[in-house]
């Protein structure tokens, strides 16, 4: 076929892009078909087509095989039977040279795809020409596949339709599978399957829920299309202008649906004469080129929806003698179907529902003798045509000039959340005609208040957002009312709100320290933040940072003495400031010290109770009561711990188990709080 080279180009382009995007090296292209089947009383029609344009070469060279499997009452022998003796392929070129084919535009599209002489644009190089032809072939492929849905002849010529003479029976399901008959190492053949049942014979669906909506010179038709249940490729739309007696098709070509959604709504617009009734019905075309039943018939007609031209309304205030209104159309000439005017008024610009008078289409002025008051009255004029279309004039205001300001807003309430979002609310003024409100704010009552918005608020609430990083805690708000004469009320009473505090206090810093036998003395500079609540002094051992002790220090204290220390130990101190909102300052620079506590050198005066037999000894009670005593024995190997004695004891009797003759000496040591130890006092 003439386009064989271009088919190979499509294949190569596809294979190249596929291999570039794949994780592994692929050297074959899948060839797969879409397939549908439809049972008839004496046969089953099968429709199929390659899924992609680059599969066309395999379809043209090899064609396809079709196999059938019959399931009766849910049982099958699982033996597939081939139903075509030779592969189903597109027609040869000379077979298209018939009158029937030449009259079938869809069959001619298939012929163009397979054998047409495609010409590219001038002024391109060879590569550009090939690319353009490949794009043309791709478009022709899509049109040909669609044409096979709309023409039996096109489907046959494309090798995309087969009629199986098998007559399906009750309680049967007939399965079909399709696969390419091509045998080439470039292609990898895949299989597709479909099935039909006996109950599908003669079933014809019709488009549902057809609606007609009237518009200016048009009728818009719409109906639902669910592709999950309805297999339609296009639609035919018919119209009747004689009360539904005869219908003519109004779409020259089948109406195609380009929306790829599975569930969608179809719209079609028909240009018509206004107020002339038309009746419409719709048919669907399925992939077997068969039309469905007709939809329900609906009535539609075009109607005038163009309102009269825009109106310009002017007023002349006559004071106590009333008001004179005059109007004119902005465009000329005046609409021929103008029916008249309606004058309306009301207390608000969005509430002019009081109909004052109706006047004819030749009247362009109106006088209302009602005198003006301080309460505003608004007027508008409506132009109405014979179809009921309406155009509105601009509103005008009628009132007695007012120089008295409205009363100041009352009942102001406000809240502020942890994110700094402020919500304000106040009472509405029901006595004055209020144009709107303005909200003011300041961080200091001594400073000028700033208006927070342009224009005017038309509600009695306002939201504001404050920065979470601020050094001031208070914020003040006030509200001003503005009437329609632009008189401003006095500011309302200030409302004070406390901002959420997310700013940590300034960290304190150590400035001095000293260490002696009594402990360590620490001194620091207080935080400069005014909202400091207290300080947290943290002590931890350098050798074991898990051993941590914290001391809460009042905000006014700038020094501390720590006496609860162990001797000869390194400690690290840090200081943190905490404010009233729970924010913590940065941690201060650390101080590291080494403790030294002097031992207790008070003589305990050890003496034997009986210097001859040495059965025990006694000692003097020290001035500071120890926690306990440690008794040592020397049995020739030096002093070793033997036992403890209680803090209130002043003598020790040796147990009988001790060989007194073997004793070289005894010792006693007092252990005081903070692990302070006396020296070991000896007696021989």
Q: What percent of the chain is predicted at pLDDT more than 90?
A: 62
The last residue of one of the domains, among 594, 624, 646, is: 594
Q: What is the mean pLDDT of residues 229-258?
A: 94
Cα distances from 171 to residues 72, 177, 200, in angstroms, run: 6, 20, 12
Q: Are residues 30 and 72 in the same domain?
A: yes
Domain for residue 663, yes or no?
yes
* CATH code of the domain in which 673 resides: 2.60.40
Per DSSP, 509 falls in state: E
Q: Are residues 493 and 527 in the same domain?
A: no
* CATH code of the domain in which 290 resides: 2.60.40.10
Domain for residue 305, yes or no?
no
The last residue of one of the domains, among 300, 328, 354, is: 300
**Best CA proximity match to 532, nearest among 511, 551, 504, 560:** 504
Q: How confident is the model at residue 673 (pLDDT cuts 50, 70, 90)?
A: confident
Q: What is the mean pLDDT of residues 3-12?
A: 51
Q: How confident is the model at residue 564 (pLDDT cuts 50, 70, 90)?
A: confident
Whole-angstrom distance, CA of residue 608 vs CA of residue 606: 7
Domain for residue 82, yes or no?
yes
Domain for residue 263, yes or no?
yes
Q: Is the distance from CB of 389 to CB of 306 less than 8 angstroms? A: yes
Q: How do residues 200-214 score in pLDDT, each as one tens digit? A: 998 888 999 999 999
Q: How do residues 48-71 score in pLDDT, each as one tens digit? A: 999 999 899 899 999 999 999 999
pLDDT of 451 higher than 90: yes
Residue 234, classified by CB atoms within 10 Å of its CB into exposed (0-12), middle (13-18) or buried (19+), is: buried
pLDDT at 21: 46
Q: What is the mean pLDDT of residues 330-343?
A: 87
Q: Are residues 41 and 102 in the same domain?
A: yes
* 3-state SS class at 319: helix
**Best CA proximity match to 418, nearest among 349, 451, 466, 462:** 466
Q: Are residues 489 and 562 in the same domain?
A: no
Domain for residue 407, yes or no?
no
Q: Are residues 35 and 131 in the same domain?
A: yes
Structural domain for 538, as ranges: 509-594
Q: Number of folded domains in the chain? A: 6
pLDDT of 20 higher than 50: no
In this structure, the number of other CB atoms found within 10 A of the CB of residue 671 comes to 16
Q: Is the distance from CB of 105 to CB of 252 less than 8 angstroms? A: no
Whole-angstrom distance, CA of residue 62 vs CA of residue 7: 14
Q: Are residues 92 and 127 in the same domain?
A: yes
Torsion of CA 423, 429, 432, 437, to 10 degrees: 0
Q: Do strands 263-271 and 191-197 pair parallel, antiparallel, or not at all (unpaired)? A: unpaired
Q: How confident is the model at residue 597 (pLDDT cuts 50, 70, 90)?
A: low
The last residue of one of the domains, among 151, 170, 200, is: 200
Q: Are residues 318 and 423 in the same domain?
A: no
Q: Are residues 337 and 288 in the same domain?
A: no
- Tell if the pTM clears 0.85, that is, is over it: no
Q: Are residues 371 and 429 in the same domain?
A: no
Q: Are residues 481 and 517 in the same domain?
A: no
Q: Are residues 191 and 46 in the same domain?
A: yes
Domain for residue 406, yes or no?
no
In this structure, the number of other CB atoms found within 10 A of the CB of residue 658 comes to 14
Label residue 420 left, alpha or beta by phi (over 0 means left) and psi (-120 to 50 means alpha).
left
pLDDT at 496: 93
Q: Is the distance from CB of 418 to CB of 455 less than 8 angstroms? A: no
- Tell me the average pLDDT of the chain: 89
H/E run at residue 306: none
Domain for residue 404, yes or no?
no
Whole-angstrom distance, CA of residue 388 vs CA of residue 342: 12
**Best CA proximity match to 552, nearest among 538, 565, 541:** 538
Q: Give the E-state strand segments of 198-353 in sequence order.
A: 208-215, 218-226, 234-240, 248-249, 255-256, 263-271, 278-285, 298-300, 311-317, 323-329, 338-346
Q: How do residues 364-383 score in pLDDT, each as one tens digit? A: 999 999 888 877 899 999 99
Cα distances from 516 to residues 119, 140, 521, 567, 593, in angstroms, run: 105, 101, 8, 11, 11
Q: How do residues 136-168 score in pLDDT, each as one tens digit? A: 889 999 999 999 999 999 999 999 999 999 999
Whole-angstrom distance, CA of residue 144 vs CA of residue 161: 13
Q: Are residues 119 and 165 in the same domain?
A: yes
Domain for residue 405, yes or no?
no
């Amino acid at each position: 076929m003439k386009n064989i080279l271009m088919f190979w180009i499509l294949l190569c382009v596809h294979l190249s892009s596929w291999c570039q995007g794949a994780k592994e090296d692929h050297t074959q292209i899948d060839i797969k078909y879409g397939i549908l089947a439809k049972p008839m009383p004496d046969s089953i029609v099968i429709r199929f087509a390659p899924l992609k344009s680059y599969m066309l070469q395999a379809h043209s060279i090899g064609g396809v095989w079709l196999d059938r499997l019959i399931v009766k009452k849910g049982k099958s022998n699982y033996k597939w039977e081939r139903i075509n003796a030779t592969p189903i392929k597109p027609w040869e070129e000379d077979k298209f040279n018939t009158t029937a084919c030449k009259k079938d535009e869809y069959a001619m599209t298939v012929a163009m795809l397979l054998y047409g002489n495609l010409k590219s644009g001038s002024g391109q190089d060879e590569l550009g020409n090939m690319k353009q032809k490949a794009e043309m072939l791709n478009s022709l492929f899509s049109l040909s596949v669609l044409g096979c849905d709309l023409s039996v002849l096109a489907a046959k010529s494309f090798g995309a339709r087969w009629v199986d003479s098998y007559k399906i029976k009750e309680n049967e399901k007939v399965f079909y599978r399709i696969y390419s008959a091509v045998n080439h190492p470039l292609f990898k053949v895949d299989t597709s399957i479909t099935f039909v049942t006996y109950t599908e014979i003669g079933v014809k669906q019709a488009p549902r829920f057809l609606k007609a909506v009237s518009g200016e010179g048009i009728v818009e038709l719409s109906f639902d299309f669910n592709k999950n249940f309805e297999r339609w490729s296009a639609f035919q739309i018919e119209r009747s202008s004689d009360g539904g007696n005869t219908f003519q098709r109004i779409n020259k070509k089948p109406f195609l649906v380009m929306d790829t959604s599975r569930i969608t709504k179809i719209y079609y617009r028909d240009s018509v004469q206004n107020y002339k009734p038309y009746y419409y019905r719709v048919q669907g075309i399925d992939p077997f080129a068969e039309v469905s039943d007709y939809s329900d018939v609906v009535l539609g007609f075009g109607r005038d929806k163009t309102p009269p031209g825009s109106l310009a309304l002017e007023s002349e205030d006559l004071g106590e003698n009333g008001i004179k209104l005059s109007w004119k159309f902005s465009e000329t000439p005046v609409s021929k179907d103008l029916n008249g005017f309606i004058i309306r008024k009301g207390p608000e610009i969005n509430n002019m529902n009081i109909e004052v008078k109706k006047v004819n289409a030749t009247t362009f002025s109106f006088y209302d003798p009602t005198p003006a008051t301080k309460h505003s009255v608004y007027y508008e004029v409506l132009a109405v045509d014979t179809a009921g279309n309406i155009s509105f004039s601009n509103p005008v205001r009628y009132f007695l000039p007012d120089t008295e300001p409205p009363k100041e807003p009352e009942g102001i309430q406000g809240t502020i959340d942890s994110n700094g979002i402020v919500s304000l609310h106040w009472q509405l003024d029901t006595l004055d005609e209020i144009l709107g409100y303005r909200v003011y704010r300041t961080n200091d009552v001594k400073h000028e208040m700033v208006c927070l918005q342009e224009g005017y608020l038309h509600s009695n609430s306002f939201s504001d957002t404050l920065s979470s990083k601020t050094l001031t805690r208070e914020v003040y708000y006030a509200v001003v009312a503005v009437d329609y004469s632009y008189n401003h009320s006095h500011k309302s009473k200030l409302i004070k709100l406390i901002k959420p505090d997310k700013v940590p206090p300034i960290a304190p810093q150590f400035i001095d320290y000293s260490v002696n036998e009594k402990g360590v003395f620490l001194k620091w500079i207080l935080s400069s933040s005014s909202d400091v609540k207290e300080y947290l002094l943290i002590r931890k051992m350098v050798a074991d940072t898990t051993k941590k002790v914290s001391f809460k220090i009042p905000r006014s204290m700038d020094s501390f003495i720590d006496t609860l220390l162990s001797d000869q130990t390194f400690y690290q101190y840090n200081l943190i400031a905490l404010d009233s909102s729970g924010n913590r300052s940065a941690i201060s620079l650390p101080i590291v010290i080494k403790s030294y506590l002097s031992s207790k050198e008070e003589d305990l005066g050890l003496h034997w109770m009986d210097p001859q037999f040495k059965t025990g000894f006694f000692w003097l009670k020290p001035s500071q009561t120890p926690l306990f005593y440690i008794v040592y024995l020397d049995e020739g190997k030096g002093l070793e711990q033997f036992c403890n004695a209680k803090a209130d004891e002043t003598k020790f009797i040796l147990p009988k188990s001790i060989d007194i003759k073997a004793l070289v000496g005894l010792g006693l040591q007092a252990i005081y709080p903070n692990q302070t130890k006396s020296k070991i006092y000896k007696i021989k």
